[in-house]
Amino acid sequence: MKLLLLTLYFPPEIGAPQTRLRAMTSELKRLGHEVEVVTAMPNYPRGAIYPGYRGLFYRKEVRDGVVIRRLWAYAALGGGLRRALNYLSFTFL
């Protein structure tokens, strides 16, 4: 089965949801499924793009056999307009 996971947050970002999503994709791959993730450049919890990802619009990675496609998204912390732009930029791309 082919599976596509769309998520704003994915490791190397830290947090419980990111850890669970990584474990789930690795297990699905181990069970023989074709798994691909579309996510944003890592920026949580700092609100700034992680080193090694800055200045990129797109990056493709393969980890544990899982294809991870990272897209630029407006990085922001907190709430309000900046946070809305974070969500909207990922959704639009």
What is the pTM (predicted TM-score) of this model?
0.89
Look at the chain and report how many structural domains it folds into. Answer: 1
What was the pLDDT predicted at 23? Answer: 96
- Find the domain containing 42 and state its range: 2-92
What was the pLDDT predicted at 61? Answer: 96
Rounded to whole angstroms, how far apart are CA atoms 22 and 66?
Answer: 9
Residue numbers in the chain where pLDDT is lower than 70: none
What was the pLDDT predicted at 13? Answer: 94
What was the pLDDT predicted at 54? Answer: 94
What was the pLDDT predicted at 79? Answer: 81
> 73 and 8 in contact (C-beta within 8 Å)?
yes
